[in-house]
Structure 1
Amino acid sequence: MMGNLVEITAADGGRFNAYVAMPEGGSGPGLVLLQEAFGVTQFMRDMADRFASDGYVVTVPDLYWRIEAGVELTDAQFDRAMDIYRQFDLNLAIDDIKATIGALRAMPEQRGGVGAVGFCLGGRLAAMAAARTDIDCAVAYYGVGITDHLAELEQVKIPLGFHFGTDDQHCAADIASIAALVERHDHMSLWMYNGADHGFANPHRGFFSPTAEELAYIRTLAIIRAAIGPKFDLEGMWEQHMYHEFVTKDAHAVLDTMVEDPYVNITSTVMGGVGHDMLLRFYKYHFCDVHPADTRIIPISRTVGVNRVVDEMIMCFTHDTEISWMLPDIEPTGRYIEVPMIVVVSFRGGKIYNEHIYFDQASVLVQAGLLDPANLPVGGIDVSRKLQDKTVMPNRLMKKWSTSEGLPLDKYPSA
């Protein structure tokens, strides 16, 4: 955990605890994280730490304190969670959220705006906070009972996002009304996740969906970043990372551009590493200083997102030295090779968290003379040439291509 407990004074004089997580940089915009019906659980603290790693001062108030302080339940204690939920006063909770926002704004580490993100019960509270407090943006994950507040939400002027799974029976009856609300307001967004159920963002629950969770987090981050920041130069950090990979060839400098516990997946050859020490070893002995002297990169496209950079490129070189991460244990063939690549770089805050690297290994093997392309649907250097020039003749590997010549091209042929 990155955080610690602080005490907040409620409007009526009572006191309650909140978990606070700080960003590595020491300051940042504020974020109030609002609990599920199970209380301030490990999931909530983990999410606070994750948002903190992306540059936020995060506060998770214990909103059950008026009933019972420190509640932390699991699915196995569902009946007890529902019993506490039935005693829960939503209006008093909003008062406590306002007190939390005030305490957050008073922290010297908090700079700029304040947003709110909530899950389940907290999703409903995040939507209510958008209507009743002075926050700058809000995101609700599978919020229950949101349709009880539609009249209030019509007046919301700040960015507001909603996440729901298509299989969520707890919220299914509300989706149409929320979708209609969002349709009327350009600053609101609704995302549905196919096959996801209630609680899909929580890895401690049976309905956890890692793909839905990751996509929802990116979309949440996009709303928050656009509204309150912080801004990071992701492209500049990626350029610095590559500079140390291919120019200075300094493995320690490469790792300085990454978070403390990064990972790299080179999927085509199952190479890379997990964690600082393994990656330092990988970069130092198997990546930074293994590339041929004539290695060059031809950029094709680049997409910069809220927490990702995606590069489409071609790597060119003469295979005059062993490249252990691409052609492990293969003696230099002396052949010139061009490799189309996609690199997906994920960031936590302003530093690199992971790299997913994809390339056409079949075309590498063909160009190196290690794979006979006869009677196989694989290409050689023509793969990279096609990427650079759209007019290069396509479909040469498809023997049936000639059979469609002259056939009708009507989009809607008659019966």
Structure 2
Amino acid sequence: MTPTAPTIRIPASDGSGSFDAYLALPPSGHGPGIVLAQEIFGVNATMRAVADHYAEEGYVVLVPDLFWRQQPGIQLGYTEADFQRAFGLYQGFNETLGVADIQASLNALRERPECSGQAGVLGFCLGGKLAYLAACHTDADVAVGYYGVGIEKALDDAQGLRGRLVLHIAENDAFCPPEARAAILAALSGREQTELYVYPGVDHAFARQGGDHFHKPSALMAHQRSVAAFKAAMGPHPDFSALWDKHCEHEFATRDVAATMATMVAEPYVNHIPTMTGGVGHTMLSRFYQHHFVNSNPPDTTLVPISRTIGATQIVDELLFCFTHTCEIDWMLPGIAPTGKRVEIPLVAIVKFRGDKLYHEHIYWDQASVLVQIGKLDPTGLPVAGIETARKLLDEHQPSNTLMAAWALSAP
């Protein structure tokens, strides 16, 4: 552990000593618990960053030093020399004692005033197998394992499975070759509260940000599934709908930039996909909101909700975005002088949360339809439409297939 890292001391259950554990607390100061089981590289900066991330999701996270019986305080990088040293520690690691240390960590976590009582296990690499073993041999409420090494050698332990189990498996993982993966899937598929996900075309450590095998799409999907599992088993369950409504109120009604930013995590981002406008991080996004969004929307701007889907980590809003183009709208129509034209456009907002704060917004709309409606794009001969797209969203009986010349040829 680094000298300034927040750590606690945990007594081993066998009376052989005690070990350090890194502690990460959520912004609220309390929540369900997660014991994070390390990779073979120790409780290094990567593991602490993962802990901090899950703390922002609303969890009290404890990362025990599972190599303490061999050498306390191991923190390795990812060079070839580090890997050789880490592999040596892995070969000398006693999994039975490791699982006992995870149970001791669960006990210590549940006893802390910050923890709401329920606690799960999350693990990567070596920790991925330990998460599986914890699901079989500890009282963890839920266990999530990423690319666990050697699970196929412990499938008999599955008779002790309790609680929810999620395993993320990399298709190209040399440490879990096809025959091992097939054995895991055959033994564990179809079990109640067990979820198995194979990520095609990715390698071991695909979720380690900055690593050689990092694959962002798979890492994002796996993270969403992991948080969903933790929330289903333990919570927390913030009111995403109310949080998003409050955020939109500050954006479009009160037009208060500081209040808007207060609904978001410390380093959020916004991406308006068609125009690539928005901002990444507090400083850039505050600037964007202040000078190019909150005070740059026409006075008659209205949002007409059509549907809302609320998931474990995000909201998907379908709505109509309506306005009269009486001012330059930097984020949607940058560089286009006001035309005075009326615009009604279907819009989809995918809003991701961490804990009880917004983390990011991905906003989608049909830019061609906007340009048609303000008279900047001639739709003649092009497969694009104007305000008709909004009207058909409200009334599905409006004509279909009007852009398809071949439609008339298929008539019976």
TM-score normalised by length of structure 1: 0.93
Please point out which of 9, 12, 26 is paired with 2:11: 9
The equivalent of 1:127 in structure 2 is 132
Question: SS in structure 2 opposite 1:362?
Answer: helix
Q: Per-residue displacement from partner, 1:320-364 (whole Å, max 9, x unpaired)?
A: 222221122322211111111111111111001111111111111
Of residues 26, 31, 39 in structure 2, which corresponds to 1:23?
26
User: 1:154 is paired with a residue of what secondary structure?
Assistant: helix
> Quick check: 1:112–1:228 contact (8 Å CA) kept in 2?
no
2:163 to 158, 162, 167: 158
Q: Give SS of 1:375's match.
A: coil
RMSD over aligned CA atoms reads 1.7
Share of identical aligned residues, percent? 47
Cα shift at 1:264: 0.9
Give the structure 2 partner of residue 409 of structure 1: none
**Whole-Å separation in 2 of the counterparts to 1:39 and 1:281:** 39
Counterpart AA for 1:197: D
Give yes or no for the alignment of 1:212 onto 2:215.
no
TM-aligned CA deviation for residue 404 of structure 1: 4.0
- Counterpart of 1:195 in structure 2 is 201
Q: What are the residue-to-residue correspondences of 1:93-242 with 2, within 5 Å? A: 93-172=98-177, 173-242=179-248
- Give distance in 2, aligned partners of 1:252 and 1:383: 35
Residues 270-317 of structure 1 show CA distances to partners (whole Å, capped at 9, x for unaligned) of 211122232222222322233223222222221111111111111111
**Distance in 1 (alpha carbons) for counterparts of 2:209 and 2:263:** 28
Is the CA contact (8 Å cut-off) linking 1:161 and 1:190 kept in structure 2?
yes
- Does 2:322 match 1:316? yes
The match for 2:86 among 68, 81, 85 is 81
Query: What's the secondary structure of 1:281's corresponding residue?
Result: helix
Given the alignment of the two structures, is residue 284 of structure 1 paired with residue 293 of structure 2, yes or no? Answer: no
User: Is the aligned partner of 1:59 residue 2:65?
Assistant: no
Paired residue type of 1:299: P
Q: Give CA-to-partner distance per residue, 1:93-149, whole Å, 9 cap, x none.
A: 112112211221221111120000111111111111111111111011111111222
AA in 1 matched with 2:121: A
Unaligned 5+ segments in structure 2 are none
Distance 1:109 1:147 in 2: 36
- Counterpart for residue 411 of structure 1: none
- Over residues 206-238 of structure 1, what are the superposed CA-to-partner deviations in whole Å (9 max), with x where a residue is unaligned? 111111111101101111111111111111100
Structure 1: 4+ residue segments shifted above 6 A = none
Distance in 2 of aligned mates of 1:336 and 1:396? 22
In 2, Cα distance between equivalents of 1:26 and 1:394: 53
Question: Structure 2: how far apart are the matches of 1:403 and 1:387?
Answer: 26
Asked if structure 1 preserves the Cα contact closer than 8 Å seen for 2:137 and 2:160, the reply is: no
Which residue number in structure 2 is paired with residue 410 of structure 1? none
Please state how far the C-alpha of 1:162 moved relative to its aligned partner: 0.7
- The residue that corresponds to 1:388 in the other structure is 394
| CA distance in structure 2 between the aligned counterparts of 1:155 and 1:100, rounded to whole angstroms | 20
Q: In the TM superposition, what is the alpha-carbon distance from 1:403 to its structure 2 partner? A: 4.0
Q: Aligned in 2, Cα 1:75/1:396: closer, same or farther, shift over 3 Å?
A: farther
C-alpha distance in 2 between matches for 1:3 and 1:351: 25
